[in-house]
Structure 1
Amino acid sequence: MDTDRVLTQRLATQRLSSAPVATAADAVRLLGCVQSQERDHAFWSLGMRSRRRTYTGVQREFDRGAFVRTHILRPTWHFVVPADLRWILELTSPRVLAGMGGRHRQLGLDDPKVLSAGLDLLAKALQGKQFHTRRELGQYFADHGSPITAGEQLGHLIMVAELRALVCSGPMHGVHHTYALVDEVITRTPPLERDAALVELVRRFFTGHGPASVRDFTRWSSLTVADTKHALAFLGDSLEQVEVDGIPHWYDPHAVPRRSSAAPAAYLLPTYDEVTLTYPQVPFPSDHPEHRASDPFWATVVAGTRSIGRWKREVGPTSVTVTIDLAPGTSDADARAADGAAGRLADFLERDLEVVRSDDAGGGR
């Protein structure tokens, strides 16, 4: 399979160029887990793939618990649907937690008694569906004389609690994230044996992200190459295997949606979007000399199967300013398509749009 076909198929598989799924939660379920340390950008990821065409609509789903935000797969934020939270954590968290020992020591949380007392106090603060922000939890710990202080210590403790399936996100308080006890907001589901969970996660990944490689999966999941190959062998012919530049890739041939005639010509992909982040081996080729700029808030502009530039946004009370920095030589048609993508973002945010070109902002085009 050639690179262009791979990239085209991924856009359809991830519901960017094919018919959208009904809800934001359906998009999360399709992808298994959606990286979301930049929550508002991640909401846009879900809006691009679903019929939830506004930020408000996606947030409503989130606030009622249709999907949650937590540390899962890796020591970073992801969205996950409630039914998938416990079994994915049980499968993947042991390796993640084992790799955090050095950070425990740096923060003075390597004493099991201190860590256990901190987790108990965190549970006490949240019991009875008392949804607290991290700042409120910091004050609660201080009021109760805990040696765990607000800042990095508390943040690390909360991450451990998430990876252990003790806490996850609650509804937003204004623009702020809150925490909830998993057992109070997520119905228990039957546990999966490890092999069954491994096979299910591998199947879900390649169904929602394929064509993808073993390396793509291990980066995404934190699991081992040996585990991945074991699950692929079990799945057998249910996944199609193709060679891409000499590297085996897999996808579910029964789950590749047809490209929509209404598919956009260009996309402003959010920061940390799954369609750019997940694939270290066959990424979108870039025409832009600064596409790896160090500023993490620049994200990727894609037209067809190429990255043609980068974009950034500034959201105000009634308007959003989108700065677009396109590669030299970008066609007028692709530039107009990028403007159209900015318009879709403004509609999602329910704001008026102002587009700033990189040459107007002192950029490189």
Structure 2
Amino acid sequence: MELRTVLRHRLATQRVTGPPLPTAADVVRLLTCVQAQEREHACFSLALRSRATTLEEVRAELDSGAFVRTHILRPTWHFVAAEDLRWLLDLTSPRVERVVALQLRRSSLDERHVGRALEVLADALGGRNFLTRKEIGDRFAAAGLPGSGQDLGNLVMVAELRGLVCSGPIRGVQHTYALVDEVVAPTPARTREEALAELARRFFGGHGPSSIRDLTRWASLTVTDARAALAEVGNGLERVDVDGVPHWYDPALVAELPERQAAPVPRRAHLFPTYDEAVLTYPAVNFPPPQGSEPPAPDQWVGTVVVDDHRVGTWKRAVGRNAVTVESRLAGSLDDEQRGLVDEATERLGHFHGLPVRHLAARS
């Protein structure tokens, strides 16, 4: 399969160019987990793919518990649908917790400290008493546990990985924590084999065409587990080779690709936020620079500008009281039409924040 076709399949499957999904939570379900340590950037990722097009709408769904923010899949924040939380934690947390355990041991913290932290959290958060990290740190310090810094974060992360706590409603700009059993309804348990197969089906369905390497990085799985999972669901997927590497996707989820319809594919620009699934998921096969031009290299701390099927630059934003300022650094080869498309993409960001946009574009 040609790279251009692969990229267009992905954008349509993820609903960046395909019909938007009804809610932000539907996007989280499609993608299974959405990396979200930069919370508002991750909310914009959901808005790009759904009819919840503003930060206010996306945050309302998060606050309602339709999806939660927690440490899952890898030792970083993700959005995950409430009904998927428990089985994904059961499947992927043991490998992640081993990484966190090494960090705890460097601070002379062991399972006794973890056990005490879990007790304090259960008591402090009980009765839907949602607390911020600082408030939890105060409770920990009173109990003789680390009350700040990385040690506090690692102890709370273990509580997330073990399914005790997840996000509660946002308070102002602060993330709060809640007891999982108080905000997430019970769900049936899955065997490990069932969970592996479901994870592979969902990943290749929501992120395809993608490779085994993409899956193992995204889900912290071993190659052996990933191959076993793919073998369970392979009959429902279609395989294509990209530069000699097998990739899989669900053909049913690309049925509405614009190129399969009579109308021509419209030109569009996309401001993909930091850690967006359309960019971060694919370390090997990704958006190329435009021919004859080399935009700034991808940077995990800034967003990626894509026009049509090419990576044409980077962007970052500052949200002020009266406007959103977008600073972009774009490839010098962009023509006037393409620059106009980037301007249109910045307007979507302004709509998301409910503010006018100042776009400061520089040529690389």
Matched, 1:327 2:331: yes
Q: In the TM superposition, what is the alpha-carbon distance from 1:298 to its structure 2 partner?
A: 2.0
Q: Is the deviation greater in 113-122 or in 210-219?
A: 113-122
Task: State the partner residue of 2:96.
Answer: 96
Structure 1 equivalent of residue 35 of structure 2: 35
What letter matches 1:306 in structure 2? H
Equivalent residue for 2:357, pick from 350, 353, 357: 353
Q: How does 1:156-167 map to 2 (within 5 A)?
A: 156-167=154-165
- Find out whether 1:52 has 2:47 as its counterpart: no
For 2:119, the equivalent position in structure 1 comes to 120
1:315 is matched with which residue: 315, 319, 325? Answer: 319
Query: What are the Cα deviations for residues 176-204 of structure 1, in whole angstroms up to 9, with x where unaligned?
Result: 10000001110111100100000000000
Instruction: Say which is worse superposed, 260-269 or 16-25, in terms of deviation.
Output: 260-269
1:76 maps to what in 2? Answer: 76
TM-score, structure 2 length as denominator? 0.95
Q: 1:264 to 1:21 in 2, by over 3 A?
A: farther
TM-score by length of 1: 0.95
Structure 1: gaps (5+ residues): 359-363
Question: Which stretch has the larger CA shift, 193-202 or 227-236?
Answer: 227-236
- 1:304 maps onto 2:303 in alignment: no
- When residues 263 and 158 of structure 1 are mapped into structure 2, their CA distance, relative to the original with a 3 A threshold, is farther
| TM alignment of 1:96-175, pairs within 5 A | 96-109=96-109, 111-142=110-141, 144-175=142-173
- Cα distance, 1:3–1:106 mapped onto 2, change above 3 Å: same
Secondary structure of the equivalent of 2:350?
Answer: helix
The 8 Å contact of residues 16 and 263 in structure 1, kept in 2 or not, is answered as no
Q: For 1:227-266, list aligned pairs within 5 A.
A: 227-259=225-257, 265-266=268-269
Instruction: Write out per-residue CA displacement over residues 228-248 of structure 1, whole angstroms, 9 at most, x where no aligned residue.
Output: 111111223210011110000
Tell me the percent identity.
51
C-alpha distance in structure 2 between counterparts of 1:264 and 1:38, whole Å: 28
Count of residues paired in the alignment: 357
Question: Per the alignment, in what secondary structure is the counterpart of residue 124 of structure 1?
Answer: helix
Question: Alpha-carbon deviations, 1:284-311, whole Å to 9, x = none?
Answer: 11246453365x4421000111101111
The Cα offsets for residues 196-220 of structure 1, whole Å up to 9 and x where unpaired, read as: 0000000000000000000000000
Show the counterpart of 2:203: 205
Q: Are 1:273 and 2:271 an aligned pair?
A: no
1:291 aligns with 2:296: yes
CA distance in 2, matches of 1:44, 1:282: 24
TM-superposed deviation, 1:101: 2.9
Mapped pair 1:9 → 2:13: no
Aligned 8 A contact 1:291 1:300 in 2: no
> Is 1:17–1:264's contact at 8 Å kept on the other side of the alignment?
no
Q: In the alignment, is the contact (CA less than 8 A) between 2:100 and 2:158 conserved in 1?
A: no
User: Secondary structure in 2 aligned to 1:53?
Assistant: coil
Q: Which has the higher contact order (CA 8 A, sep 6+)?
A: 1
Question: In 1, distance between residues paired with 2:307 and 2:95?
Answer: 37
User: Does structure 2 conserve the Cα–Cα contact (< 8 Å) formed by 1:107 and 1:152?
Assistant: no
Structure 2 residues not aligned, in runs of 5+: none
Distance 1:263 1:53 in 2: 20
Take 2:26 and 2:298, find their aligned partners in 1: how far apart are those partners?
Answer: 32
Q: Could you tell me whether the CA contact under 8 Å between 2:295 and 2:330 is conserved in 1?
A: no
**Alpha-carbon separation, structure 2, partners of 1:3 and 1:238:** 22
Counterpart of 1:361?
A: none
* Distance apart, 1:140 and its partner CA: 2.0
Q: 1:311 to 1:161 in 2, by over 3 A?
A: same
Equivalent position SS for 1:195: helix
User: Is this contact kept in 1: 2:314–2:330, CA < 8 A?
Assistant: yes
Give the letter aligned to residue 87 of structure 2: W
Structure 2 residue identity aligned to 1:10: R
CA apart distance, 1:57: 0.5
The secondary structure found in structure 1 opposite 2:15 is coil
Task: Pick which of 308-317 and 133-142 moved more.
Answer: 133-142
Q: Which residue number corresponds to residue 175 of structure 2?
A: 177
Q: Offset of 1:335 from its aligned partner?
A: 0.7
Q: Are the counterparts in 1 of residues 295 and 312 from structure 2 also a CA contact under 8 Å?
A: no
